[in-house]
A and B are shown apart, each in its own frame.
Chain A
Amino acid sequence: MSTRINPDFKNELTHFGKDEWNECYHCGNCTAICPLSKDGFLFPRKDLRAIQMGLQDKLDASLEPWLCYYCGECSETCPRDANPAELMMTLRRYLTSRYDKSGLAKLFYTNHIWEYVVLGLMFLAIVVAFLVFLPLKTDAALMVNESGGVMINSLVEGINAERFIGIIEYGDWTMAIVIALLLVSNIVVMFYKSVLSENGIRIPFSSYFTEAWQLVWNFATQSRFSKCDDKQYWIGHLLLMTGYTIMFILVVVFLPLFQIETVEPWWHWQRLLGYYATFGILFFLTIVTIKRLQKRDVKLKYSHPSDWIFIVMLALTTISGILVHIFRLQGMVAATYYTYVIHLAILVPMLMVEVPFSKWSHLAYRPFAIYFARLKTVAAEVEKEKSHKELVPAVGS
């Protein structure tokens, strides 16, 4: 069966980032230099080809964009300045919009005004909800503990600390579950397109389990990333990722242990973890922001609106979190309450929009793509061995 080419397809990628697809003349230098392109998953040239020719099904099924960590080496060696690294980034955005069946991801990527609108509305909704349903107590000024810190869970009118924590925890879990469901359904789409619908490939059942460690390992260490030349970038990213994950776990799983009424000494584990997380996030954010503004480093030269939204939202969340912490230690009750509300009003929309529908989804897509790629490699190896056995009859037969 031959595929009819579709040169108009590339227009669908407009607004996802790169929108010039003609420069590449397929010398293959990029694929040759890429430290991550191997084992039957060769990129970025082939993906560029698929775009030029409009092979949409092929692109939708491709895992390669997730296997690329944007080290930029390919773009640096390209003789035609075709910028293949940015192409891979563009494809990650495009694929995110393809996995998401709601159409929101596509809407946000192609028209970021909508993203502002949704983020803004959610911000307002949370602020209003607090002011209406969980307003500041009239006698809140009394809610200071023996060390002079604000008792943060006891600031709301008519609700005691346990109930408050309960409500927030309930909200956290609901949010986490919604996000998880969205991500899982997207990953199912990815799995279907990249693995199941490929003809003639049979994944050995056992490999689903034997390869599962890839998921955890790659999520936790991003070991593929470490193979790029710029190791500092990988460490910075690891700081951000671990900091963020720690914060997420503290806030969602251990909220009652983290958001407490007393002020623990600075060396207490939960404060130390909090500081590490804050430092990790801020450190990497600062570096990335500077580099994105400088536009010198090839991997941070081109910034899509979604990149900036991500950075700004994360920075605002972190800064508001730090402010809550400071105000609380200083015993500034009203300031603590209002910054806490603002903190949540930034954090929640950020997570709800960014994780399932935008840049942050890569935290799930990358490890799963590596896992699926591994499964396909195993399947191919098994297949090769089988045909090899058929070709070489056993001795004596």
Chain B
Amino acid sequence: MEKTRIGVYVCWCGTNIAMMVDVEAVAKEMESRQNVVLARTYKYMCSDPGQDMVIRDIKEHKLNRVVIAACSPRIHENTFRKALENAGLNPYMLQMANIREQNSWVHSDRIEATRKAKSLVAGAVSRVNHHQPLNKREVPVNPASLIIGGGISGITAALELADAGKRVYLVEKESELGGIAAMLDLTSPHFYSISDSLKTLIRRIEVHQNIKVYMDSQVKQINGYVGNFNGEIKIGNKKVKNIDFGNIVVATGLKPIKPETIENYGYGVFSEVITSLDFEQVLKKGSVLNAYGIKPKNVAIIHCVGSRNEDYKPYCSRTCCMTALKYANMIRSALPEANVYQMYADMRAYGKHCEELYADTSGKNVLFLMYDQREGMPIIEKDAIGPGVLIKFNERLSGEDIEVPAELVILMTAMESGKDAKSISQMTGTSLDANGFFIEKHPKLDPVSTTTDGVYVVGSCQSPKNIPESVSQARAATANILATIAKGYVEVEVITAEVNEDICCGCQFCIQVCPYGANNYDQRKAVSSVNEALCKGCGTCGSACPSGAISTRHFTDKQILSQIEGIMAEVGSG
């Protein structure tokens, strides 16, 4: 048998790791471990020079196993597996030790952190000795796609795929396409009419031969894996339709919160107070009037209603600042004499042409008044002497307690995740963040994929986004999907469970516990077997099996125990 030759690489991650961990000491300690041929450190292992170093060493020093002590494997395991592959090594001969998220970022004692890093790396070294080469499996891709949600994001994705000649199933739960964009008048920062563009897009969808739209419909169930999904769609109240598709785009958007829950704004109490979406409908009618049908002399636009506040939504709803500026401009043109107030907490005018819109609006006799949510939110009450309401708060830029009369108040309400987000995330095997928004695979490098291959999350179901951002995401996802379709096959996870038929007693515990329905019982042999296409390698069956007949590839008992042994073994201090 070929002799085991391990290379160990300890990454500095700039200062992220090196500041808290003595990387040189860690490498030095590893040099003396059994089968370790060399141990090096490098500033950024994931960089091209870092990877090249590994590739070169594999070739020159005939390494057949590699340990990389760096960040979380969730971030760079694939990077390094590819490097191994490029050097002609099986990608599974790699083991990562996470000394950043699980060490340098969370500790403050350099000596202890270094010791812990040594243990973690020692565990990885010990484990990698028992790694086995695994071979990837390829399955063909079904070129049809399922798109859930017919807002601007879903519409864009549908047309992109359909125009490329691929079949699209577009599922929309409402009776109209367009989502929130269909409720908008002109859009910031350019004052384009989105409804005009939407009408054209929707008409194209309706007549497109490659698109099948299911209105008033919901997805009920999804099975399968990338390239080979299968789903059930409930159309209207009863009919259920079964379809097959290779990729999924989730574009279910978001919805405004109910401002009634924030009592100090008096929504529902004073007719003068309306929400931003209400105001879009006012604008669509063509003249700015309040609920009493009169032209307001004073219009107040209150920002961050329910956003950026721990009691409601901690995050920024992202599009409302620019929308508020859009309103100020539209009110200024409709009512040249009116006083327009922006009551804001911070002005977020990031992005192309947005600061320009802000500066431009400032020049239009719009008064920007700043409030601080922590000091108390604006309070709306009836104006004792005037016709409308009074908005009272402490104005931060002057330090004064002020009151502002207004006959029309627009609340820039926060946006929250759609109400079906949870069920859709369960069906698609994706996750939601603490605020109920879909989590993308990597916030920077993989912003529309998810940890489930073949499932993409685009537009405002991920987090509040404006139209250009939503559209770009939709297009990004379709590019990914078309690339998969063009390749014709996908590589599926090889880390699956396997049953040792000689030991399996046929108790079928594994079948009961598998969350993915991947275990079957073979009547003839009287043993369980694993459908590798469905198995996600979660390991549940392995721990349930009383006979120890099931093990998960790449997570065998031997591998895990040797890792623990490595971690528990004595290491040099400091």
Residue in B339, B364, B368, B398 whose CB lies within 8 Å of A55: B398
A387 at the interface (CB under 8 A from B): no
CB distance from B39 to the nearest CB of A (A): 52
* B91 contacts chain A at the CB level, 8 A cutoff: no
| A3 close to B400 (CB less than 8 A) | yes
Stretch from B244-252, B402-410, B563-571 forming part of the interface with A? B402-410
- Per the 8 Å Cβ criterion, residues 405-430 of B in contact with A are 405
Q: Say whether A55 contacts B363, CB under 8 Å.
A: no
* Cα distance, A164 to B472, chains bound together (Å): 91
**Are B363's CB and A2's CB within 8 A?**
no
Q: Which of A2, A50, A80 contacts B362 (CB 8 A)?
A: A80
In the complex, which residues of chain B have a beta carbon less than 8 angstroms from the beta carbon of A7? 339, 367
A1 adjacent to chain B (CB < 8 Å): yes
A3→B397 contact, CB < 8 A: no
Task: Tell me if B370 and A26 are in contact (CB < 8 A).
Answer: yes
B288 to chain A, nearest CB (A): 18
Which residues from A are CB-within-8-Å of B365?
A: 22
* Whole-angstrom CA separation of A147 from B111 in the bound complex: 101
Report Cα–Cα, A255/B368, bound state, in Å: 58
Chain A residues near B359: list those with CB within 8 A.
23, 80
Q: In the bound complex, what is the Cα–Cα distance between A96 and B161 (angstroms)?
A: 71
On whether the beta carbons of B362 and A23 are closer than 8 Å, the reply is yes
A50 to B400, CA, bound (A): 10
Once bound together, how far apart are the Cα atoms of A46 and B397, in whole Å? Answer: 8
Task: Return chain A residues, CB-CB under 8 Å to B395.
Answer: 53
Nearest residue, chain A, Cβ from B392 = A2
CB pair B397–A5 under 8 Å, yes or no, is no
One of A22, A26, A45, A53 near B366 (C-beta < 8 A): A22
Q: Residues of B contacting A262 with CB < 8 Å?
A: none
Which residues of chain B have C-beta atoms less than 8 A from A1's C-beta? 401
Do the beta carbons of A53 and B367 come within 8 Å of each other? yes
B369 interfacial by beta-carbon distance below 8 Å: yes
Judge if A49 is at the interface, Cβ distance under 8 Å.
yes
A21's nearest neighbour on chain B, judged by CB, is: B365
CA distance A55 to B401 in the complex (A): 11
By the criterion CB–CB under 8 Å, are B369 and A53 in contact? yes
When C-beta atoms are compared, the residue in chain B nearest to A52 turns out to be B367
Contacts of A80 in B (CB 8 A): 359, 362
Contact of A46 with B398 at beta-carbon distance under 8 Å, contacts A4-B405, A5-B404 already known: yes
Q: For the complex formed, measure the closest distance between the CB of B287 and the CB atoms of chain A, giving whole angstroms.
A: 22
* Given contacts A2-B392, A7-B339, A25 and B368 within 8 Å (CB-CB): yes
Closest CB in chain B relative to A191 CB, distance in Å: 23
* Chain A residues within an 8 Å CB radius of B364: 22
Residues of chain B from 369 to 392 with CB closer than 8 A to chain A in the complex = 369-370, 392
B residues near A53, Cβ cutoff 8 Å? 367, 369, 395, 398, 400, 402
Option from B368, B370, B403 in Cβ contact (under 8 Å) with A4: B403
Give CA–CA (A3, B399) in the complex, Å.
11
| Chain B residues with CB below 8 A from A4, complex form | 402-405
Check if A5 sits within 8 Å of B403, measured CB to CB: yes
Q: How far is the CA of A46 from the CA of B392 in the complex (A)?
A: 20
**A2–B397 contact, CB under 8 A?**
no
Task: Report Cα–Cα, A53/B359, bound state, in Å.
Answer: 18
Interface residues of A in 206-226 (CB under 8 A from B): none
- Give A5-37 as 1s and 0s: 1 = Cβ < 8 Å from B's Cβ atoms: 101000000000000001101100000000000
Q: Mark B421-441, 1 if CB is under 8 A from A, else 0.
A: 000000000000000000000
Report Cα–Cα, A217/B401, bound state, in Å: 38
Task: Report the minimum CB–CB distance from B545 to chain A (whole Å).
Answer: 66
Q: Are B398 and A2 within 8 A (Cβ)?
A: no
Q: Please tell me if the beta carbons of B367 and A50 are within 8 angstroms of each other in the complex.
A: no
Contact A55 B400 (CB under 8 A): yes
With CB as the reference atom, state the residue of chain B lying closest to A20: B363
Nearest-neighbor residue (CB-CB) of B340 within chain A: A7
Complex Cα gap A5–B392 (Å): 10
**What A residues does B366 contact at CB under 8 A?**
22
B392 CB to nearest A CB, Å = 6
CA–CA, A58 to B404, complex, Å? 17
A50 touches B405 (CB 8 A): no
B398–A50 touching, CB < 8 Å: yes
Nearest to A81 among chain B residues (CB) is: B359
For A45, the chain B residues whose CB sits under 8 A away are 397
Mask for A108-141, Cβ within 8 A of B = 1, else 0? 0000000000000000000000000000000000
Q: A7-B339, A46-B398, A49-B398 are contacts. A22–B363 as well, Cβ < 8 Å?
A: yes
Name the interface residues of B269-315: CB closer than 8 Å to any CB of A.
none
Are the C-beta atoms of B402 and A2 separated by less than 8 Å?
A: yes
A20 CB, min distance to chain B CBs, angstroms: 8
* B381–chain A nearest beta-carbon distance, Å: 11
Separation of A52 and B363 alpha carbons in the complex (Å): 12
Measured in the bound complex, the distance between the Cα atoms of B383 and A329 in whole Å is: 76
- The reply to whether A26 and B400 form a contact with Cβ atoms under 8 Å apart is no
B360: min CB distance to chain A, Å: 10
**Interface residue from B367, B368, B370, B402 paired with A3 (Cβ < 8 Å):** B402
CB A203 to nearest CB in B, in angstroms, measures 22
12 contacts between A and B (CB under 8 A): A1-B401, A2-B392, A3-B401, A3-B402, A4-B405, A22-B362, A22-B366, A25-B347, A25-B358, A26-B370, A53-B395, A80-B359
7 more CB-based (< 8 A) A-B contacts, given A26-B370, A53-B398, A80-B362:
A1-B401, A5-B402, A7-B367, A22-B364, A23-B359, A23-B362, A50-B398
B residues contacting A by CB (< 8 A) are 339, 347, 358-359, 362-370, 392, 395, 397-398, 400-405
Which 4 A-B pairs give the minimum distances between C-beta atoms?
A2-B401, A49-B398, A2-B403, A26-B397
